[in-house]
Chain A
Amino acid sequence: MKTLDACKILDAHRDDAIVVCTMGAMNALDKLPLNPLTMACVPLMGGAASIGLGLALARPERKVFVFDGDASLLMELGGLVSISHARPKNLYHFVFNNSIQFAGLGNLETPGARSADLVAMAKACGFEAAQRIDALDDLESRLKGILAGPGPSFVEVVVEYDAPALGTENPAVEMTDERFTRMGDEIRRIRHHLGCDAAVAA
């Protein structure tokens, strides 16, 4: 399953959901039409799920999707406990698992890639539901039921990865300034879209 194809399906089912994305899913969503309720967690590897938790608690009237990565989840694994403790019924945590760090760039194996059971971890932490999906048609057919159920819900989406772009022929890649400012800009865009600033001004 390609990350972009999975993101297209999830994006088609989001309705008015807020999406917090990071890592490969962020790059995929950047190729889809802009949604003002999407924000990237970057560069802050590991932070997407907790930002999503805050949004879910602040806005219980709408769903919040987190598009995480396997290595970024592992970076703040205790966040699964923080989420289950807070019990946000509107939080849906999708983890795009390609078992690789710097996918498409350097392709370094994620620790635990061959042994860690992310779904079992989410269940053990107390998520309302947790499942693994490794085929695009399964994602399409099961998604409606997943979103009809209560959160916090965890979905491990098993995805492929591209060949590494970095190497002797392409030894470096520069980070743009925008990569360090977009998270704040997108937070403010979400606040504006939700009318938060008007509420403060009032």
Chain B
Amino acid sequence: MFVQVLNGLAFGVLLLVLSSGLALIFGLRGVVNFAHGAIYMLAAYVAMAITDRTSFWLALVTVPVLLAAAGLLVDRFGLRHLSGRSPLDMVLLTFGITFVVADVIQTTWGTRAHTIDPPSALQGSTDLGLATYPTYRLFVIAMGLLVCAALIAWLKFSRTGLFVRAAGDDRTTTGAMGVNVDRVSGTVVALGFGLAGLAGVLAGPYLTLSPAMGTEILITTFIVVVVGGLGSIGGPMIAALLVGLAHALATVQAPTFSAYVPYLLMLGVLLVRPQGIAGRRTAL
């Protein structure tokens, strides 16, 4: 049971990193980034290439930065041009990116499954008293929680974080107050892509790399964001851990039923409380 809770936490933390990026982009650009799963997948594959040549630690640092740069470009040359149009146009744009990335990955690395070896310092298991648990997964949990704490602190205490929250609440007024909203949005999209990249690198040695991994996690992340509430940052964080735990527990307790659990959770939440745990109806 203890191990299952930890498994749930490890998966939940991965979802936490992904969904906070998704929620941030949604707050600022009003777009659900359909490319989030593809970016995550791309990060995992690039991390594999870098790990094979040099070391995992280098990948952990460089890949999120590279993808953040890519996010900046997508915002500058894509999303910004569509800001006056229907949000569905932006969805379609990110959807197009998904297809391109999927093709690049299949061409470069093929369709078979790959794995990354965790760095030597994190191999093996750690004795936690109640049970021994793989060290790498403990590292994932620690990293994820650390990054989210940093993200919350940044949003709460920094100047840019203030602008991000303000622009998420009311874009026009924030712009009228002299904040360069386009620049803030660019930062946030870059941050969201960077977080997706980080999740991809972290997932590499923990899950299996395959061309389907992006879609699988994308849909779970959507569920997390909807359950948590669109337009909120804290809601998806709670929902991520919930979904991760529900997923891990159901896999062991009710294996045939486990694949349905996230979807049923989502349907249940939407029927009882359509705005999600902490969402605002007006955000949609």
Decide whether A and B are members of one complex: no
